[in-house]
C-alpha cells in the first residue's frame, strides 16, 4: 500500500525522530468528543488536530464552501509548523472513524505539497485491542518549518463542476451512502439528492468487514466501473468522507482524481444548481 500503514508498522517506528503522529479523532455532532478522547489517552507522542478547528475554515453565512470549508493554506501551514510538522517530517494520521478524518489530513498535506504522509489502518480502537501502548502525556511541541507548495490541480470548484455537467471529460463520484445519494434521506444538509450524472461509491465500500482498507487489487475491482482515462471528481456531503475514496482510488492506481472540497453542501448553496434524485 502506498498511503496506508499498519499498526505494527507504526509501532516499530514509534520513536523515530522524523515521525509525527497526528490524532484526528472527531465525532460529527459532538465537536468536543475527539479532543476529550485524545486527552484521556492516545498513541504515545501523538499530537491532536481537530476537524473543525484545525482542518477546516469557519462556515460561511451563505453556505458557500460547504459545511467544512478548506482551511486557508497559509494558516494551516503555520499550524502544522507549530505542532512540529516540517517539510522533512513523516506524518502518520489516525482516527476512530474509519479513516475519514485521518484521510482529510492526508489529503490536506498532499494539497500543500507534502507527499510523506500516511493513514494508519483500522484506527485507534484496533490499536488498543492489540494491546499496543497508549498514554495521556502531552508531547512537548518543538516548532518546525513547513513551507507549503499548494497543488491547485488537486481541487475542483463548483463552477468547474457546473460547466462540466452534460460533458464527458469528467466523471463525478458521490461518496455518501446510497440512501443519501438517491435523496431518500438527508440528515445533514438542506436539500436531498445528488449532483446530476454522479455515480455512487459509498466510501465505506473501500474497507472490509473488519474495517481494514482493501488491498490494491480489491480496490481496483471495487472501482472497476470507473474510467481510468477520464478525470474523476470525488465529493461527499462536506468534503471529509470523500477523502478516503480519493486515497483508495490512488491505492487502486487511478491517477486523474480531484476533490470537490465543498461537496454537496456547497453545491446546494447555489440555488441555480440542478439536483438529481434516485438512481442514475
* Torsion angle (degrees, nearest 10) of CA 157, 52, 249, 167: -20
Rounded distance between C-alpha atoms, residue 93 and residue 36, angstroms: 17
Grid cell locating 266: 456547497
Check if 24 is active-site. Answer: no
Write the CB contacts of 202 (distance below 8 Å, at least 6 apart in sequence).
175, 176, 177, 178, 181
Q: Among the options 236, 240, 248, 261, which is catalytic?
A: 236
Q: Which residues sit opposite 19 in a β-bridge?
A: 90
Total number of residues shown for the chain: 280
**What is the sign of the dihedral through the CA atoms of 240, 5, 19 and 258?**
negative
DSSP 152: G
Q: Which residues sit opposite 91 in a β-bridge?
A: 20, 117
* Torsion angle (degrees, nearest 10) of CA 202, 204, 207, 212: 160
Rounded distance between C-alpha atoms, residue 121 and residue 164, angstroms: 35
Phi, psi of 35 (to 5 degrees): -65, -40
**What is the sign of the dihedral through the CA atoms of 248, 249, 254 and 255?**
negative
Which among 220, 222, 166 is positioned nearest to 196, based on CA atoms? Answer: 166
Cβ atoms < 10 Å from Cβ of 139? 15
Q: Which residues are catalytic?
A: 236
Amino acid at each position: 500500500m502506498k498511503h496506508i500503514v499498519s499498526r505494527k508498522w507504526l509501532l516499530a517506528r514509534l520513536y523515530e525522530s522524523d515521525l509525527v503522529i497526528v490524532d484526528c479523532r472527531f465525532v460529527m455532532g459532538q465537536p468536543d468528543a475527539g479532543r476529550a478522547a485524545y486527552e484521556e489517552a492516545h498513541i504515545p507522542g501523538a499530537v491532536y488536530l481537530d476537524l473543525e478547528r484545525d482542518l477546516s475554515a469557519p462556515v460561511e453565512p451563505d453556505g458557500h464552501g460547504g459545511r467544512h470549508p478548506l482551511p486557508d493554506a497559509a494558516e494551516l501551514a503555520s499550524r502544522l509548523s507549530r505542532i512540529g510538522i516540517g517539510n522533512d517530517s513523516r506524518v502518520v494520521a489516525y482516527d476512530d472513524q474509519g479513516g475519514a478524518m485521518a484521510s482529510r489530513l492526508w489529503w490536506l498535506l498532499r494539497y500543500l505539497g507534502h507527499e510523506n504522509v500516511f493513514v494508519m489502518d483500522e484506527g485507534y480502537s484496533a490499536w488498543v485491542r492489540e494491546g499496543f501502548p497508549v498514554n495521556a502525556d502531552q508531547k512537548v511541541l518543538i516548532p518546525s518549518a513547513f513551507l507549503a507548495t499548494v497543488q491547485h490541480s488537486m481541487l475542483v470548484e463548483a463552477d468547474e463542476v457546473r460547466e462540466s455537467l452534460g460533458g464527458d471529460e469528467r466523471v463525478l463520484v458521490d461518496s455518501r451512502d446510497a440512501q443519501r445519494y438517491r435523496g431518500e434521506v438527508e440528515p445533514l444538509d438542506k436539500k436531498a439528492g445528488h449532483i446530476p450524472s454522479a455515480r455512487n461509491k459509498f466510501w465505506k465500500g473501500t474497507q472490509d468487514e473488519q474495517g481494514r482498507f482493501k488491498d490494491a487489487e480489491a480496490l481496483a475491482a471495487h472501482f472497476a466501473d470507473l474510467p481510468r482515462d477520464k478525470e474523476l471528481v470525488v465529493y461527499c456531503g462536506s468534503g471529509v468522507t470523500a477523502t478516503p475514496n480519493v486515497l483508495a482510488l490512488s491505492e487502486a492506481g487511478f491517477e486523474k482524481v480531484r476533490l470537490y472540497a465543498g461537496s454537496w453542501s456547497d453545491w446546494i448553496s447555489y440555488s441555480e444548481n440542478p439536483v438529481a434524485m434516485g438512481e442514475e
